[in-house]
Amino acid sequence: MFMSDRRNEELWNEDLIDILNERFPDFIIFKGRILKDIFLQKNKTGKYELQLGFFDQDIVIYKKGDLMDVKDIQECKSIRLHNNNSNAKNTIIIPSIIIELKYDGVNTHGIITYSNIASDIKAIFPKCKYIFALRHSSGSSDNKFLRNGKNFDNIIYFDNNENYGKKYVKGQFREELKKSKQLNDKFESLVDFIELIMKSPSNSFLK
């Protein structure tokens, strides 16, 4: 990813989080780290440790009470936590929804990589939904995603040809939603899915 694309993606990421926080004030929505790996490895003394590894995610959505206190785990010498969120090292977030973002398409290797990440996270959090969202679907065909993105619960494009290839500016996505009914309808479908997962009443289904 070129530097300009990375900055475009960062700004779009910030805008999406701001908009979603306005739509869902009762939930926690942020960019941060989620537990992805649990494995055994020897430490410097030659003894095995149970190690927990965390991985950055573009958008994480969870309910305010969905946290696990791991202060006692932190004090255990045979368990080690890697790269947990710096402002919440004594808690593990239990995500309900994760949204991975890509600004300008993604190649086959990238789709496979993120699908594997989704699989790893869902193995730990089986109720978590994993969404892959693209700002522009350049070079990313439906067939490519369906073949290689089997672990994504949803895949959505927010194409707007008018701004493709142009520098993204803060607040741009919000303005585009106002101007384009097609783009707004796509975004509302994402909102509807989030609402369905986060606000669904209790029923007989386990997941």
* Predicted confidence (pLDDT) per residue in 94-144, tens digit: 999 999 999 988 889 999 999 999 999 999 999 999 999 999 877 778 899
How far, in Å, CA of 149 to CA of 99, rounded? Answer: 14
Tell me which amino acid residue 48 is. Answer: Y
* Residue linked to tokens 């805008």: 15
Domain ranges in the chain are 3-199
pTM given for the model: 0.91
Q: What percent of the chain has pLDDT over 70?
A: 94
CA proximity to 94, closest of 32, 143, 168: 32
Predicted confidence at residue 9, as pLDDT, reads 93
* 163: number of Cβ within 10 Å: 16
Backbone phi and psi for residue 52, each to the nearest 5 degrees, phi listed first: -115, 120
CB count, 10 Å around CB of 52?
A: 20
pLDDT at 202: 65
183-197 pLDDT tens trace: 999 999 999 999 999
Could you read off the pLDDT of 14-56 as tens digits, one per residue? Answer: 999 999 999 999 999 999 999 999 999 998 889 999 999 999 9
Q: Degrees (nearest 5) of the Cα angle 153, 178, 158?
A: 30
Return the closest-CA partner of residue 33 out of 80, 90, 92.
92
Q: How far is CA 103 from CA 41, 95, 121, 148, in A?
A: 36, 23, 22, 19
Residue 156, both tokens: 């959505």
Q: How far apart (Å, rounded) are the C-alpha atoms in residues 134 and 199?
A: 25
Decide if 107 contacts 88 (C-beta within 8 A). no
Q: How many angstroms separate the Cα of 165 from the Cα of each of 95, 104, 135, 136, 168?
A: 33, 9, 11, 9, 9
The Cα–Cα gap between 105 and 99 comes to: 15
Query: Which pLDDT belongs to residue 201?
Result: 67
CA distances from 169 to 8, 45, 207 (A): 8, 51, 39
Place 155 in a pLDDT band, splitting at 50, 70 and 90: very high
